[in-house]
Amino acid sequence: MTVLNLRLQVLLALSLLAVNSSLAAFIPTGKPKGSTAKKVWGVPRTVLPEKAGDNDVVLDENFDDVPLVRLLGLNRIQKKMRKYKRESNEGVKTPEIITDAPASSGNTATSSGKDVSRLIIAGAPASGKGTQCEMIKERYGVVHLSTGDMLRAAVADKTEVGILAQEYMDAGKLVPDEVIIGVVKDRLAQKDCVEKGWLLDGFPRTPAQAEALSEAGISADCFLFLNVPDEVLVERVVGRRTDPETGKIYHMTFSPPEDEDVLARLEQRSDDTEEKVKVRLQQFHANVDAVKGSYTDIIVEINGTDKPENVAVAVENAISSKISS
C-alpha cells in the first residue's frame, strides 16, 4: 500500500489519459534502494482510494477506478482528449508499460486511436426508444444492445433463463437483475462493442444495475431520457402489434398495415395488455429517479411525444453536446 500525493496523482492520471484516453493504475511497491527505481506494472482498471490525509490518497492492489475517476473529475478530461483525437485524426501508441494490462470493458478508444461513442437511452415502455435506436445506430455506427431482445430470444429457445424470464414477463414485471446483468457485462466486452461503440437500450433499469455498471468501470458519454406521459404510453402499448414473419411493429391506431394479409397475421405480445403495462409503469417509476441520479453529469431529457424525426434531431443534438463537451 502506498500513499500518493493527490496533486501528483492528478498529473499521473493526465499523462495516462493523453496516451490512452483511459485511466490505467500503477502501484509502486516496496522501498527504492539507492537510485534503483521502484518496480511499476500495469494493473486492471480497479482502484479503491482511501482517504489518508487532507491531500493524500491511499492506493491498494484491489481497488476500483470509478471512485477515483469521480474524485479527480476525470470524466470531463477524458471527453476533451477524445475530442482532440477526433479533430487531430491521429492515433496515439500505448506505452509498453501498460500493454500487458487486461483489456478494459469497452471504455477506451480502439488501438488505432479511433474514437467510439458509448450511449444509453432510457424511457418507459413505448416511449419511442426503438425508433430512436435505429436512427442512432445508422448515424453513429454503434452496436445496438437491447436486453429485451436478448431475453425474448432466450424465451423462444426455451432455455433455463428464458423460462424464468417468461414468468416475470407474463406477470408484467421486470426481469431480476441477476438474470441479465452478467449478459450485459460480457456483451460490452466483446470486440464489436469495443471497436464500434455501443448503445444500451433501456439499461440500466434499476439503481443496482447502474451501480453494477459503475463497479465494472463501464461509463457512457451520454444518457438520453425520453419523457412521455403515462396515458400516452398506455395507448401506444395496447395498440401495438408485431408481424411474426418480418418482426416489424405496427400500431392499430397510428400505423396499421395496409396489406390485409399482414393485418391478419399480426400478433400482440403477452405483456402488451393495459393491466400489465400499468404494472410495468409502476415498476419503472419506482426506479427511474434513482437511475437518472446515477447519470446527472451526462443525462439529457427529451420530449418523446413529438414527431419521431423531431425527436431524432433533439437526440443528435444531445449526443453531440455531450461528446464534444
Query: What is the pTM (predicted TM-score) of this model?
Result: 0.58
- Whether the upstream peptide bond of residue 204 has omega within 30° of 0, thus cis, is yes
Cα–Cα distance for residue pair 262/154, rounded to 1 Å: 26
Could you tell me the CATH number of the domain that includes residue 253? 3.40.50.300
Domain hosting residue 123, numbered range: 118-324
Question: Would residue 83 count as lying in a domain?
Answer: no
Which residues sit opposite 118 in a β-bridge?
198
Q: What is the pLDDT along the chain (325 residues), one digit of tens a residue?
A: 444 455 445 445 544 444 444 333 333 334 344 333 333 333 333 333 433 444 444 444 344 444 444 444 445 555 555 555 455 444 433 333 332 333 344 443 444 445 789 999 999 989 999 899 999 999 999 999 988 777 776 788 787 777 887 888 788 887 788 777 767 777 787 799 899 999 999 999 889 889 988 887 889 999 999 999 999 999 999 999 999 999 998 999 989 999 999 999 999 988 899 999 999 999 899 999 999 999 999 999 999 999 999 999 999 999 999 987 6
Whole-angstrom CA distances from 139 to 106, 136, 158, 187, 320 are 20, 5, 35, 21, 12
Question: Would residue 109 count as lying in a domain?
Answer: no
Question: Would residue 95 count as lying in a domain?
Answer: no
The residues carrying an active-site annotation are 129, 205, 240, 269, 280
Question: Would residue 26 count as lying in a domain?
Answer: no
Burial 214-241 (b: 16+ CB within 10 A, else e): bebbbbbbbbbbbebeeeebbbbbbbbb
Question: Would residue 144 count as lying in a domain?
Answer: yes
Question: Would residue 32 count as lying in a domain?
Answer: no
Domains contained in the chain, number: 1
**What is the 8-class DSSP label of residue 271?**
T
Question: Would residue 7 count as lying in a domain?
Answer: no
Question: Would residue 3 count as lying in a domain?
Answer: no
